[in-house]
Structure 1
Amino acid sequence: METSVHCKGNERSERFCHFENLCYHNEHKDFIFFMANASMIENVPSDSQNILDLSSVADHTLHFFSFLYLPSETMTDFTVKWINRRSLIFNRFKPDNIMHILHDDILPLHHTLKQIKGNFKLNRNTQEKFDIQILTFEDWPDDIEYQFLYDLFSRHDMLTVNSLKKMGELVCFSDVYVGISKETTWYQYGFYVPQGPVPNSKVTSSQIQDTVNYVLSHIDTECTLCNLGPYLVLLSRKETRRILNEMDLSISIAQHIGMKVLSVSLETHSLVDIINLIRNSKGLIGMHGSLLALAIFLQPGSILIELFPFAINPAHYTPYKTLSGIPSMNIYYANWVNTNEENTVMHPDWPPELGGISDLKDQQEIMNQKEVPKHLCCDDPSWLFHIYQDTIVDINTIIQLVKTMLTASINENTSEKARNIVAGPVRDLNCVTEKNSIRVKWKAPWSLRYIPHKTVQYQLFIFNTQLNSTTSFLITNTIYTYNKTEATYSFLVWVQCQLDNLKGYLSNLVKC
């Protein structure tokens, strides 16, 4: 018996591997590749250490995958337990936190399962569980609170490194994929640079909604309160980061907006109940925190209002703003930050993990801060101290925010807006060279009349072949005159139509 492997991706952060007969040694906690002449090894680095990420969080040192080579004839020295169904090995990143569960695990897991050939019917309406054994190899307990979310994706009970220990000395997988997709992630948490959007993220609203629909098809969606008319959901925190005038906020919104406000928390509602309430709501309001990740369950056209304590700059913490900005998510986002220090209640004597700073020499300096400096994850004392403050929010300002965002969502008429449909290339692009200028003309894409939109703009690109430089202009007309500084210069031009700021197809190049 020999091991074989084929990997896709040239870098560790993008590599995904398919093994035949990969084994795991429980005592030594090593994966083993049994080498023989018949072993196939494709696209694997010469050094088998840290070849890929087991987690969707790129380059995190706790989640690297490695294996050891042993001669195939040594397998007879071990007692082997075989797992013969197709399997997937990955690591959950932080399964005690809703944001991390959804963003780092559930969305990537669903996307990965769909990409494994032969595991599912290529039918968007198929919501059957996957016939694949899921295994995780991090050290989280087997009885985590939100395990049910992971269990939605497989017909088989999920195995962990703890359950493998009960199977004997060596556990071998006849057909196993290792790794997890990063394509659905949009945010990085600041391990190497301050947190922010994932550069060049490829996630689409369709991918997110596909997973949302899958989850909803496998949970109990019965919801009595959801049928009581239009309402907003307010996320309530009972222990830390509290809204101290929460009741007044709810009542005032209801009075001024004419819409009920349902206050929910994990202390008073199950996660499934909260998901259902959010799914059927007109929008979500809450203090910055992991539960706001449940905004993925909002219907298109909903609003999301994120609140921040004093000294927390919203521009530095944007996971939910970034989510809302994914094209065609159609979530109307706004934030509010407390700028009045008198409306904050600090807790310097709390434990350090909850922002306590009583043991620090610079505690007074931290308490006097007007803005938390940019920082790395995850235990910066200034960040923890200020984020765990309690806040008296400005009710009038928040009411105006809610009114503005609800009006914007109604005016946009998102229920009839085409999703992910972009303009085709412009037609009949031509360029006429004159003594000191060039005149560029084109016709609108023929498909324009069939695509719902509010604004049409054209991005005109002009490339100077002598200077090797490109200039671009965003215009609303289909003709443009460009003044050139040298009569001998030559140019290449092309145009891109944008509908409601959504970029369409590029035209062919035309030489001037």
Structure 2
Amino acid sequence: MVPLVTIAKVIILSIGWNFFIFEVNWFGHNVLLPFAALPDSEEIYEVPIGSISCSTVGSQSGNRICHLKNLCYSNVFNSFLLASDDDDDDHHKLVRFENVVNFTTVVGSNSTFDYYLSSKTFTDMRHYRKLMFFGSYHLLGQFAPNNIAHDIHDFLLPLFNTLTGLNEFQLDTEPSRTLLIYGLVPITASTRSLYSLFSRYPPTLSLDVMMDESLVCFEDVTIGLSHDTIWYQWGFGQPEGPLDDRKVTSKHLQNFTGYVKEKLNIDDKSACLEKDEFGILFSRKSTRVILNEIKLRESISAQTGMTIRTLSFEQNSLEEIIANVSCAKFIVGMHGSILILGIFLPPNSVLLEMFPYALNANHYTHCRTWVEIKGMDLKYVSWRNRNRSNTVTHSFEGLYPGLTVTEEKRLEILASEEVAPHLCCADPAFRFRLNQDTIVDIPAVIEILLGALEEQGRRANVS
């Protein structure tokens, strides 16, 4: 087992089966936690015969879901195995099957489940210790772990939609499957608390259960996610942007947020009636810092007549943030993953997304796309810093794993007024500008916010 002290020093982003090291706090989240160990396991002496069956769910042909019995992971071959009955002609059979089903919904990321079909005799011979985990599991991959926008858009919303379609999620019952995540990244407390809502037992990282034994088997495993709820592609093969054939509806998002609030015991219908109107300012502590945050908060409060609550992952739990968002009239925040929690806003609310210098709001429209889904009844507005003197930049070092920026490129980036459209994920100009801190133009932001609030107020009066 890799020592946890070693794990805690790195964050690793997995795309497919390639792993890239990130610094801790890259995404600005709180302390890392290891996954919990799974219950109901015992050592076995013979590998069980495995099986696989796949089908399509939902409205798209790519929505492939596979159910596997006795899926095993081999630390000898560093691969998944299904044991088959012995072949009289070949007791050493090992046949590889590739691209069986997608681990994620990330368009173009090529993260697929592959496995070997192995004869029972060969599997038993090559693995001196074997461990079986009983119960039902859903196996997920990893992409940008501990980034809550990816967690919700790429995994949990699709998972909820998938298992609801299979009649495995009900508000009044506990999840029937435990989440098993194939990857190496310990998750933060806030991320873990969200994943736990969709898991029978605490969600478990493969690293915690696939290191000690030579063969680890799982009694019942489902792999695959419906793509019906995704609305965005992250820049593989083309610059990021909304999907042309998106199927997601406001009902998808409202069912998801309703489930989450039910599990967190958030009764916003009664709680919101007891509170004065307020807005939320999302704060960041490491990168994309609002350098005049206190003045911005005070000015927004004075101009709107509302209390402004400052929230962040560093200072608040996920439950606190969702409970507050569920009653808020508006959110103001810098471009970043926490804005996905705006899906919990009540109708007729406003989301104002702010962008650092040189980042064009029209090139990064993940938030705008979901806010403008018909039936959400929300208003999206944005502000972009166009004043170079109001930005504070940071080092070019450590922008992305393995990325080295030449002096010539650095000068080009510093001279540029706008980051050009780019692919995921290592564009140096984007990474550099994404990290910078900003002195916000307070009068401009307030003007945009007040206009949006006035428009939403008129809509509410009409309805």
Q: Normalising by structure 2, report the TM-score.
A: 0.78
CA distance in 2, matches of 1:389, 1:75: 53
CA, structure 1 residues 281+359, in 2 after alignment: closer, same or farther (shift >3 Å)? Answer: same
Alpha-carbon contact 2:133-2:219 (below 8 Å) kept:
yes
Shift, 1:280, TM fit: 1.1
Aligned pair partner of 1:174 in 211, 219, 222: 219
CA distance in 1, matches of 2:435, 2:169: 44
Q: Which residue of 2 aligns with 1:112?
A: 162
Per chain length, whose mean CA-contact separation is higher, i.e. which structure has more relative contact order (CA < 8 Å, sep 6+)? 2
Q: Which residue of 1 aligns with 2:245?
A: 200
Aligned pair partner of 2:445 in 391, 395, 398: 398
Displaced runs of 4+ in structure 1, greater than 6 A? 222-226
CA distance in 2, matches of 1:249, 1:69: 60
Determine if the alignment matches structure 1 residue 373 to structure 2 residue 420.
Answer: yes
CA, structure 1 residues 347+70, in 2 after alignment: closer, same or farther (shift >3 Å)? Answer: closer
Q: Which residue of 1 aligns with 2:148?
A: 98
Shift, 1:281, TM fit: 0.6
CA offset digits 1:331-363 (Å, max 9, x no partner)? 100111112223222334664349x99853232
Alpha-carbon contact 2:86-2:119 (below 8 Å) kept:
no
Q: Which residue of 2 aligns with 1:244?
A: 291
Q: Which residue of 1 aligns with 2:109?
A: 60
CA, structure 1 residues 19+362, in 2 after alignment: closer, same or farther (shift >3 Å)? Answer: closer
Determine if the alignment matches structure 1 residue 16 to structure 2 residue 61.
Answer: no
CA, structure 1 residues 298+242, in 2 after alignment: closer, same or farther (shift >3 Å)? Answer: same
Unaligned 5+ residue runs, structure 2? 1-47, 88-94
Alpha-carbon contact 1:142-1:162 (below 8 Å) kept:
no
CA, structure 1 residues 363+242, in 2 after alignment: closer, same or farther (shift >3 Å)? Answer: same
CA distance in 2, matches of 1:6, 1:349: 49
Moved more, 96-105 or 66-75: 66-75
The percentage of aligned residue pairs carrying the same residue is 33
Q: Which residue of 2 aligns with 1:327?
A: 374
Q: Which residue of 2 aligns with 1:43?
A: none
Q: Which residue of 2 aligns with 1:155?
A: 200
Alpha-carbon contact 2:146-2:188 (below 8 Å) kept:
no
CA, structure 1 residues 76+340, in 2 after alignment: closer, same or farther (shift >3 Å)? Answer: closer
CA distance in 2, matches of 1:145, 1:233: 18
Aligned pair partner of 1:165 in 184, 194, 210: 210
Secondary structure of the residue that 2:310 maps to in structure 1? Answer: strand
Secondary structure of the residue that 2:160 maps to in structure 1? Answer: helix
Q: Which residue of 1 aligns with 2:278?
A: 231
The one-letter code of the counterpart of 2:99 is N
Determine if the alignment matches structure 1 residue 262 to structure 2 residue 309.
Answer: yes
Alpha-carbon contact 1:309-1:389 (below 8 Å) kept:
yes
Determine if the alignment matches structure 1 residue 34 to structure 2 residue 83.
Answer: yes
Moved more, 96-105 or 80-89: 80-89
Q: Which residue of 2 aligns with 1:70?
A: 118
The one-letter code of the counterpart of 2:248 is V
Q: Which residue of 1 aligns with 2:257?
A: 212
Secondary structure of the residue that 1:256 maps to in structure 2? Answer: helix
CA offset digits 1:53-76 (Å, max 9, x no partner)? 111213424x32111112345455
CA offset digits 1:349-405 (Å, max 9, x no partner)? 664349x99853232221111111111111211112222222222222222211221
Alpha-carbon contact 1:344-1:390 (below 8 Å) kept:
yes
CA offset digits 1:297-320 (Å, max 9, x no partner)? 111211000111221111100000
Shift, 1:5, TM fit: 2.1
Alignment size in residue pairs: 402
CA offset digits 1:75-104 (Å, max 9, x no partner)? 554554333422211113223112112212
CA offset digits 1:87-136 (Å, max 9, x no partner)? 2111132231121122122212222222335x355xxxx24221213211
Alpha-carbon contact 1:26-1:168 (below 8 Å) kept:
yes
Q: Which residue of 2 aligns with 1:139?
A: 184
Q: Normalising by structure 1, report the TM-score.
A: 0.71
CA offset digits 1:479-507 (Å, max 9, x no partner)? xxxxxxxxxxxxxxxxxxxxxxxxxxxxx
Report the aligned-residue RMSD.
3.0
Unaligned 5+ residue runs, structure 1? 39-45, 418-512
Moved more, 242-251 or 136-145: 136-145
Q: Which residue of 2 aligns with 1:276?
A: 323
Secondary structure of the residue that 2:422 maps to in structure 1? Answer: coil
Shift, 1:19, TM fit: 1.9
Secondary structure of the residue that 1:85 maps to in structure 2? Answer: strand
CA, structure 1 residues 369+225, in 2 after alignment: closer, same or farther (shift >3 Å)? Answer: farther
The one-letter code of the counterpart of 1:102 is I
CA, structure 1 residues 165+389, in 2 after alignment: closer, same or farther (shift >3 Å)? Answer: closer
CA distance in 2, matches of 1:109, 1:361: 45
CA offset digits 1:179-237 (Å, max 9, x no partner)? 22222211111122101112311111111111212111222549999754101101112
CA distance in 1, matches of 2:63, 2:158: 13
The one-letter code of the counterpart of 1:281 is A
Alpha-carbon contact 1:12-1:51 (below 8 Å) kept:
no
CA, structure 1 residues 280+205, in 2 after alignment: closer, same or farther (shift >3 Å)? Answer: same
The one-letter code of the counterpart of 1:283 is F
CA, structure 1 residues 7+313, in 2 after alignment: closer, same or farther (shift >3 Å)? Answer: same
Secondary structure of the residue that 2:348 maps to in structure 1? Answer: coil
CA, structure 1 residues 373+32, in 2 after alignment: closer, same or farther (shift >3 Å)? Answer: same
Q: Which residue of 2 aligns with 1:5?
A: 52
